[in-house]
Amino acid sequence: MSRARVARRIAAGAAYGGGGIGLLGAATVGVVLAEVQLAKRSVGNGGYGAPPRANGRYGAAFAERSECGEALRFAMLGDSTAAGQGVRRAQQTPAALLASGLAAVAERPVDVRVVAQPGAQSDDLERQVSLVLSDETGWLPDVCVVMIGANDVTHRMPATQSVRFLSAAVRRLRTAGAEVVVGTCPDLGTIEPVYQPLRWLARRVSRQLAAAQTIGVVEQGGRTVSVGDLLGPEFAANPREMFGPDSYHPSAEGYATAAMAVLPTLCASLGLWPEEERPDVSRREGFLPVARAAAKAASEGGTEVTGAMPTGPRGPWALLKRRRRRRIQEPDPSPIP
């Protein structure tokens, strides 16, 4: 069965209350997940404690300009990757890197709130969204980034449930007026202690979930960026540089590489990124049925999928884009709390 068809089935099950769908067969998946869990235990946590707190204001210097508008409000939700597990300084976390890049593009300060939780699965998103939307000061986000999925795979959460929780979170945030960008499930086949043939199987399970997540997110009005194998050949070529000491979470350089891929989509969601009138055919961009776009994106890290035409000959369509990455300057070391 093609990845697009599997993703469609999972997304449909999530929308209509179906149960878990066997992606590769329960026995096979069980072996893959057991291997991943053993890999995680074998490398430990690299001596990490809680991730550094990245909450605060970035690009504060822009507030001094008379033409500068109010600060943009940015929330980060998800799991340990969203929280920045594996680095020791706040400015090395994805939230800080994205906020710094967003402030530079918008020429406005950016207020950041991180509610991501290490170890979180998609069922924790309900709690995280409630934290973001129930702030006593009335703070509501203009844009949110969600990075989730790896723990759903390793803890054997049925894919339909995983997509259902994520879709519900995106729907609540969109209803509240926020733009939403989701970094889909990373490729667990990149974990070094996982060996062939289980590496191939872990990759397949991860990509199937990522494709199904994309369908669910796009249907709720969000955008996705495929995290995939943690954004391509850089990680395969330089695993020692891109992964931290635990060989599981990204290093500071790894997070910077990921942020470079997410930033253009984050800015585009707020109308801050120049958009081409037509997809760039030379970059293999174009309009596709959403399931096909999701399957293609899952196979190529850093690829964006966003909703396009509401319907077509084979259901809703989406725009597949491969945006050029932008190097992000490391933010000031002391964001304003």
Please give the positions annotated as active site.
Answer: 80, 246, 249
Beta bridge partners of 286: 320
In the sheet that holds 317-321, the strands lie side by side as 56-58, 110-114, 72-78, 143-147, 179-183, 223-225, 304-307, 317-321, 286-289
| Structure-token pair, residue 210 | 């990522």
**What pairing do the DSSP bridges indicate for beta strands 223-225 and 143-147?**
unpaired
| Structure-token pair, residue 130 | 């409630």
Beta bridge partners of 193: none
Nearest to 125 by CA among 192, 54, 173: 173
Q: In the chain, count of helices (H) and strands (E)?
A: 12, 9
Q: What angle do CA 9, 11, 14 make, to 5 degrees?
A: 110
Task: In whole angstroms, give the CA distance from residue 267 to residue 51.
Answer: 25
Exposure string for 248-260, b = 16+ CB within 10 A, e = fewer: bbbbbbbbbbbbb
State the virtual CA torsion across 61, 262, 250, 87 in degrees, nearest 10.
Answer: 20
Task: In whole angstroms, give the CA distance from residue 284 to residue 250.
Answer: 28
Nearest to 181 by CA among 154, 238, 221, 208: 221
Nearest to 221 by CA among 267, 148, 167: 167
